[in-house]
Structure 1
Amino acid sequence: MNRQQAIKTRTIPFVFSDETRDSYGTVLPVKGWDLSTFNKMGVALYNHSSFGSDPDNVIGTARAWVEGNKLIGEITFEKEDINPKAEKVFQKVLAGTIKGCSVGFRTMERGEWGKGEEAYDGKKPTYYYGRRSLLEISVTPIPANPNAKVRSVHAQQEDAEPTGEMEYLVGEVRSFDPDTEGDEEEQRQAEAEKESALLRANVAMAQADALMAMS
């Protein structure tokens, strides 16, 4: 998609998610996505603000689909005359100031721990979610998954022929934590990451168990 087309349609393509281990120590396998609810409602938010009283936190509509090992989608932003917040976020995405997005979902079945170092008691515990229902997509400055971000929007040259191909922005999420040195600090960070992964996985398993008990 070129920039002029994006401005005209107010629609931006994103990678919503993939199978990268995120900052919570979890993985969302693509085969586990249930998109039926999401593609009926198509809710796009800013920073997962779904429970406040400001209706402008809903910044547009969205749709999602799977391509290979990625959850792909697009967001159509509301116009400025009905939602100034959506316009601001839209302009920041176009400018490249905000690149990230994040998924909001409901657990449908229990997942499992990885093997080896990714086991529950391993050095890098990683929880692989089971089936889950996508509920909303949010534009966010710092996504948990570093690959969840806007696809490139080109300023297409007048003489250039459209290729029909979509490229991905190349970049990385930088850490805002202060630089640290020494094995002790690295050990503390590793332990904190492990605790976060265990806590998130335990919550997910409890949610899945509760849903299965109700069904």
Structure 2
Amino acid sequence: MTSTSTTLRRLRLALGATAAAVVLTACTSGPTTSASGTDKASDEIASLASSSAEGGADGSNKKLKPGTKEYDDANSNHHRKRYDCQRNKAESLGIELVDDGNGGLTPKTDEHFGMKSDGTYLNDFSKRYIEGVIQACDKEFPIPKELEDSSQEKEEQLKKSQKIAACMRKEGIDVKDPTLNDPTVALDPDDPRSEAAHAKCEKG
């Protein structure tokens, strides 16, 4: 199986390691067992999203210091809950998830999936997976307050992402500047130059 983890690396860079989870980029891999049928999928997605509860805090709101045992335990507990959530919701939609080799999960599918640079879905599979699994579990298990990056850390990570975006534009790739509200560098999954430029600029 082959896959790309550009978006995962990008999110880690933009938000910090605590925010790194399963995220999407265009990729290909082995056979899929995904369900079909747009109307059925939409109903399943709506059902899963409506069943996701707000909150899901993993303890108190006390800010934990990265690198401590207390922080590591809380972070591991949070990600374990998210992964269980993603596997269960994916299974309900007929989507098989496998380890992506970067500490996250990815669909086992031979379809391209992800988001276009204009914010729309590549295809119906992308919509089913992003809304029915990723967004549903993001809502059910948001990052706990005690694990969130500080304002200073977010600013520092944002500057790194903006530097990568500026570098990519010099490479001839049209990307927008990341912001605090949207801190990722959006790549075009249909343009292989986009990922190559990102990898080059990420190295500095």
> TM-score with structure 2 length normalisation?
0.28
> When you count helix as a share of all residues, which structure comes out higher?
2
> TM-score with structure 1 length normalisation?
0.27
> When you count strand as a share of all residues, which structure comes out higher?
1
Q: Which has the larger radius of gyration?
A: 1
